Amino acid sequence: MSKIRIIPSLLIKNERLVKGIQFKNHKDAGDPITTCVALESQLADEICIIDLDAYEKKTNPDISLLKKIITKVSTPITFGGNISNIDDVKKIITNGADKVLINYDDDSDKLITSIADLFGRQSITIAIDLINQNNKWHIYKNGKIIFENIFEYIKKVSEKRIGEIKITFVSNEGMKNGLDKKIIKEIRSQIYIPIIFEGGLGSLDQIDEAIVCGVEGIALGTMIIFMDNNIFKIKQFILNAGHKIRF
């Protein structure tokens, strides 16, 4: 088992940090640059930065903030925000991100190939969003369900030339009810490439439960942005619970 990665997930709107519930109702949560510096001093293992404006306005990702962050931190960065062509990726990586977050659909294959050829497969993190409808999870993109069988879909994506997958339980986001353990166990038993999970974590015990289910990468939004937690404290808890973590 590798060391657990704790990855703060930062959503950006108008160069400000925001946080919402179930991908909606975003509230201001501070300055992203000072937040990144603070997260680094708390020993965040990576930082995931997502340009929400790019998704909402369907524009190219704005890297002006990334440019500023990179002068201040030496923490690995994954950057996302409606990335749809190789020129976006070039801009993002030359300006200091290590990985790009790509929202997969059938049109992504060509982009994945060009990124892997130029930067290597490890620079690609595929984002898969799951939404719960009638007590069943489905694959969700751009406001609609695009695929029913999540395991078949995730398996298919995991076989592409990519580095890792980030799975978000959208319906649980900001709800603090914990990750869906049954789903995680099933995914982990079938897929061996690195996976980061996000959506619904609200307590330290829930983090422990998720790790026991096989989670190696945990992205945290609400717990870090709006609750009385810091990464150092979370990592200390994980260590005390008997798991491997970096200090």
Give the span between the Cα atoms of 185 and 181, in whole angstroms: 6
Minimum CB–partner distance for residue 194 and other proteins (Å): 5
SS3 label, residue 143:
coil
In sequence order, what E strands does the chain have? 5-13, 16-21, 24-30, 47-51, 77-80, 99-103, 124-133, 136-141, 144-147, 164-169, 195-198, 217-220
Nearer of residues 58 and 72 to other proteins, judged by Cβ: 72
Per-residue mark of binding to other proteins, 217-246 (x: CB under 8 A): x----------------------------x
User: Does 116 engage in binding with other proteins (CB under 8 A)?
Assistant: yes
At its nearest, how many Å lie between other proteins and the CB of residue 190? Answer: 11
Helices 108-119 and 86-94 sit at what angle, rounded to 10 degrees? 40
Applying CB under 8 A, the span of 51-59, 97-105, 175-183, 219-227 interacting with other proteins comes to: 97-105
Quick check: 8 and 41 in contact, CB under 8 A?
Answer: no
190 makes contact with other proteins (CB under 8 A):
no
Q: Which residues are at the interface with other proteins (CB under 8 A)?
A: 2-3, 5, 40, 43, 45-46, 67, 70-71, 74-76, 90, 93-99, 116-123, 163-164, 192-194, 216-217, 246
